[in-house]
Amino acid sequence: MSKQKSRDFTAADFIALRHQEDALKLITEKLRVREMGPADHIRTKHEVKAFLEAGGDAKEAEAIVTRARLRREMWETQSVTQKLTQRHRQDQRIDE
C-alpha cells in the first residue's frame, strides 16, 4: 500500500494554528514529532510551547519547522541504517 505524501507543514501553517484551542497538540502533530527520536520529540514540543507562550514571529516559526524536519529526517536515516546494520550482522552469522 502506498502512502500519499501530504504537503509539507510550513511556517505559515504554524502561524495560522497558533491561536487554536489545542495549538500545541495540533502543531506538534503536523510537525510529525512522533516520527522523531524521543529526545527530539520532547525538544521540538518544548520549542513549540515556548513559541506559543512568547508569541513568536514567522522567522522563529520557520526555524522550528526546519529543525523539526531535519530531526525527523535524521531519525529516519538512523533507523534505516540501524536496520541495515542488523541485517548485515545476521547475514554474517549465517555465513560463518
**Domain membership flag for residue 61:** yes
pLDDT tens track, the chain, 96 positions: 334 344 788 999 999 999 999 999 999 999 999 999 999 999 999 999 999 999 999 999 999 999 999 999 999 998 888 888 888 887 777 766
Q: How far apart (Å, rounded) are the C-alpha atoms in residues 73 and 88? A: 22
- Residue 57's alpha-carbon distances to 5, 13, 14, 61, in angstroms, are 28, 13, 10, 6
**Domain membership flag for residue 3:** no
Give the cell for residue 44. 521540538
Mention every residue, 6+ apart, whose C-beta is less than 8 A from residue 65: 9, 10, 11, 14, 31
* Count: domains in the chain: 1
- In this prediction, residue 5 carries a pLDDT of 44
**Domain membership flag for residue 6:** no
**Domain membership flag for residue 71:** yes
Give the structural domain span for 25: 11-95
- In this prediction, residue 94 carries a pLDDT of 76
Give the cell for residue 80. 534505516
**Domain membership flag for residue 51:** yes
- In this prediction, residue 2 carries a pLDDT of 36
Q: How far apart (Å, rounded) are the C-alpha atoms in residues 56 and 95? A: 57
- In this prediction, residue 96 carries a pLDDT of 66
